[in-house]
Chains A and B, each alone.
Chain A
Amino acid sequence: MKPAPFEYFVPTSVEEAVELLARHGDDAKVLAGGQSLVPMMNFRLAQPAVLIDINRIVELGYIREGDSSIAIGAMTRQRVVETSPMVRDKCAILSEALANVGHQAIRNRGTMGGTLAHGDPAAEVATVLLTLGGSVTVAGPQGKRELSPEELLAGPYAAGISSDELIVEINFPILAANETHGFLEMSRRHGDFALAGVAAVLRMGEGNICERARVALCGVAPTPVRATEVENQLTGKRLDASTIQAAAELASRAVDCEDEYHASREYRTHLCQVYVRRTIQLALERWGNN
């Protein structure tokens, strides 16, 4: 399990990286934390001719608190975000979701941009981004552009980014005082990819009325997906057991997966419903405790 040979470049600025990407096009792969790419290279499932290592672009490592969102540089390590007291305070759903990404040594090197660019169907960070409705900034030959999470996840493996573009920043909206959240997933072992995972953010009004619901699922479709029918079912309703149950049942409509060894499609579909219900309940309990 040794990688095939490649040509190696280490840009120190975004401009330099973008220039290298433009020059090498589809032959090149960007190396961020490498926690998904390097295993694929060791298995020789990925054999990029050119590797553009962005670990020395120091300008991409930051967490900045804005008025309504947190801007995180693409090269910020997942563990740094997970343990940031500010993130925990302003966007706890992100810290909670990150705790489910592999194991600590993986998060120590894995980056925020890397997980989004790799675009695994079970990726927690993308799921949270989808739920919060944040944005991703990419840099390319034409300069920078901003993508919505839906645009980023237009297809498997971060189809929204073209091969000459580089993620530079991710914006996560700050949870408002009238918002509550939950993130839960089920995996075979601690740290494994989720068989099914759910992120939910609920904007709550008087008397447990849900004013707005954002719910996304991971591990059950080619990309993380919004469960819009669940959201619609919850929105404007008083959240009691039967409303939540009715909404959870709609989660199955977002499922788009095949049977595989560890979980049948039917089981994953069922897990979605159970985990949507549990996640909404968790969010509601937190709201009640506030």
Chain B
Amino acid sequence: MRPVGRKITVTVNGEQYVREVEPRLLLADFLRHGLQLFGTHVGCEHGVCGACTILFDGVAQRSCLIFAIQADGAEILTVESLAQSGKLNLLQKAFHEHHGLQCGFCTPGMLMTALELLRENPSPSDQEVRAGISGVLCRCTGYKQIVDSINAAALAIAGAEAAE
């Protein structure tokens, strides 16, 4: 029997949603099919590939390992939040310029992970970047150009902050 759904209130990318969810519904499925935010991708559903990584109350987490019902009251940011007014942010721009993506499937998880990484460590070494993104699997790039992109983003962000 299907258990009765429960009402949750969740803020995603600044917008508040009130929805009824079955307890077992995974947050990744809720974001994608419940809210039609298809930017978050699902690649393994057991927490290894990292494609579904989002910011949950500001912290990078796997949305395939959280139930939507647990997000009641939470603030979530997905890849859709990054570009504002039709403009790529500095991280996205660096990925674009340095070819930090090919098929684009791991990219949402990679960006959200890099966002946290650069927030915690604004000028990481190559090794720190590699360790920081080690929880997101990419099969296209061999990671080199992703590392280049994140390094370039770190410089660009530092430059933009200095200019302010």
B89 to chain A, nearest CB (A): 20
Q: Mark B62-80, 1 if CB is under 8 A from A, else 0.
A: 1011110110000000000
- Find out whether the CB atom of B45 lies under 8 angstroms from the CB atom of A105: no
Question: Contacts of B62 on A, CB cut-off 8 Å?
Answer: 35, 105-106, 109
- Find out whether the CB atom of B23 lies under 8 angstroms from the CB atom of A35: no
- Find out whether the CB atom of A106 lies under 8 angstroms from the CB atom of B47: yes
Tell whether A105 pairs with B113 under 8 Å between CB atoms, given A38-B47, A191-B135.
Answer: yes
A35 to B70 CA separation, bound complex (whole angstroms): 14
Question: Contacts of B24 on A, CB cut-off 8 Å?
Answer: 2-6
Identify the closest chain A residue to B69 (Cβ). Answer: A8
A55 to B6 CA separation, bound complex (whole angstroms): 17
Identify the closest chain A residue to B132 (Cβ). Answer: A104
- B-side interface mostly: mixed
- Find out whether the CB atom of A34 lies under 8 angstroms from the CB atom of B65: yes
Q: Does any Cβ of A come within 8 Å of B53's Cβ? A: yes
Q: Does any Cβ of B come within 8 Å of A7's Cβ? A: yes
Question: Contacts of A103 on B, CB cut-off 8 Å?
Answer: 50, 134-135
Q: Does any Cβ of B come within 8 Å of A145's Cβ? A: no
A190 to B117 CA separation, bound complex (whole angstroms): 17
Categorize the interface residue count of chain A. Answer: 20 to 34
Question: Contacts of B26 on A, CB cut-off 8 Å?
Answer: 2-3, 42
Tell whether A8 pairs with B23 under 8 Å between CB atoms, given A53-B70, A104-B135, A109-B66.
Answer: yes
Question: Contacts of B66 on A, CB cut-off 8 Å?
Answer: 34, 38, 109
A4 to B67 CA separation, bound complex (whole angstroms): 12
Q: Does any Cβ of A come within 8 Å of B59's Cβ? A: yes
- Residue total for B at the interface (Cβ-Cβ under 8 A): 32
Question: Contacts of B1 on A, CB cut-off 8 Å?
Answer: 5
Tell whether A105 pairs with B46 under 8 Å between CB atoms, given A5-B22, A5-B24.
Answer: no
Question: Contacts of B50 on A, CB cut-off 8 Å?
Answer: 103, 105
A3 to B135 CA separation, bound complex (whole angstroms): 23
- Find out whether the CB atom of B45 lies under 8 angstroms from the CB atom of A1: yes
Tell me the residues in window 95-118 of chain A with beta carbons closer than 8 Å to chain B beta carbons: 102-106, 108-109
A109 to B65 CA separation, bound complex (whole angstroms): 9
Q: Does any Cβ of B come within 8 Å of A267's Cβ? A: no
A109 to B54 CA separation, bound complex (whole angstroms): 12
A51 to B23 CA separation, bound complex (whole angstroms): 9
A39 to B69 CA separation, bound complex (whole angstroms): 17
A17 to chain B, nearest CB (A): 15
Q: Does any Cβ of A come within 8 Å of B60's Cβ? A: yes
Contact of B61 (CB < 8 Å), options: A3, A4, A39, A108: A108
Looking at B29, B46, B65, the one whose CB has the most chain A CB atoms below 10 A away is B65
A57 to chain B, nearest CB (A): 13
- Find out whether the CB atom of A102 lies under 8 angstroms from the CB atom of B135: yes
Question: Contacts of A53 on B, CB cut-off 8 Å?
Answer: 67, 69-70
Q: Does any Cβ of A come within 8 Å of B116's Cβ? A: yes
- Find out whether the CB atom of A105 lies under 8 angstroms from the CB atom of B2: no
- Find out whether the CB atom of B134 lies under 8 angstroms from the CB atom of A190: yes
Identify the closest chain B residue to A108 (Cβ). Answer: B59
Contact of A42 (CB < 8 Å), options: B2, B46, B59: B46
B96 to chain A, nearest CB (A): 24
Further contacts, 6 of them, CB under 8 A, given A39-B65, A191-B134:
A2-B26, A5-B3, A8-B23, A38-B65, A104-B132, A105-B50
A→B interface (CB under 8 Å): 1-8, 34-35, 38-39, 42-43, 51, 53, 55, 79, 102-106, 108-109, 190-191
5 contacts between A and B (CB under 8 A): A2-B26, A3-B24, A5-B1, A106-B135, A108-B61
